[in-house]
Amino acid sequence: MKIKILFAAAFMLLMLNSADAGNFVSAHGQLRVEGTQLVDKAGEAIVLRGVSLGWSNFWPRFYCKEAVKWLHKDWKINVIRAAMGVDLDTMCYIAKPDYSKKLVEEVIDAAIEQGIYVIVDFHSHNIHTAEAVRFFDEISKKYAKFPNIIYEIFNEPDYETWEEVKAYSEAVIAAIRANDADNVILAGSPHWDQDIHLPAADPILGQRNLMYTVHYYANTHGAWLRKRTDEAISKGIPVFISESAAMEASGDGAMNYHEWQEWINWQEKNRLSWITWSISDKKETCSMLLPSASSKGKWKLSDLQESGIKTREYLRKMN
């Protein structure tokens, strides 16, 4: 009997260790920023590679644990971005805050269960300070203890000035830091996250574990934006590529494979984390799925659009 008990205990320990070995967050733990580099709990440089879900108000069907599990298991993502739609329609955060927050929390909980990182993205092109403060106060109170969490406080400012974006960011960062002193925060910059030179000249001061986002679409944005970002990094600005893809900035048009590969090579050379847009089923180039794709994952190649096939290929190879 004693031998059986010891064997059972040893087997259980082996299973727990095996499960932990496949848990990316358990392996890398609390992320932080050292200089311009994102590093893990051991201080080693880390590159997160994953995908963004589409706007939650337009594609809520993919905001479920089964889709997150499949993306982790089959696409090999180590980070997922939950793009909570803030405005634009009757199903957005401003119109239905509890509904929208529930969708995001389902993705967060699924990411924690899968042992991957999750970006909580306030997905808007406009300043909504009061709403953002309220949302991130609630999320950071609930999830501060989990090292999985990354806060993206402003998806893509469009026509706002850097002074306006900076003031907004400082207010939202203060709300998060009142509850969560450690998890990484991502701040945006004007002109759809292409004007990274503006925070480089006038950064947010007095904050740790803060990074700035750059977004690109390879058939619109080329070497000039990489050069601008290189210059910002040389001035001490930590950068995270929280949205990217191969087509035009509209999300449609042709895939520019050559320029996309240039971006991928540059990201890897600079040890920059990157997210590809998006898990949705709209009839446009940037949507990775076809309407035939189940909400629950288990997608066949025949369920994927061109961008999805290529993104999956990259992630399975590089992660």
At 100, the amino acid letter reads S
- Give exposure, 145-175, as e/b (b: 16+ Cβ within 10 Å): ebbbbbbbbbbbbeebebeebbebbebbbeb
Give the closest residue to 122 by CA, choosing from 216, 213, 217. 213
For residue 115, which phi and psi values (nearest 5 degrees)? 75, 35
Tell me the two tokens of residue 104.
């995001």
Task: Tokens 């082996």: give the residue.
Answer: 14
- Residue 168's contacts (CB-CB under 8 Å, 6 or more residues apart) are 127, 129, 132, 154, 160
Q: Indicate which residues carry an active-site annotation.
A: 156, 243
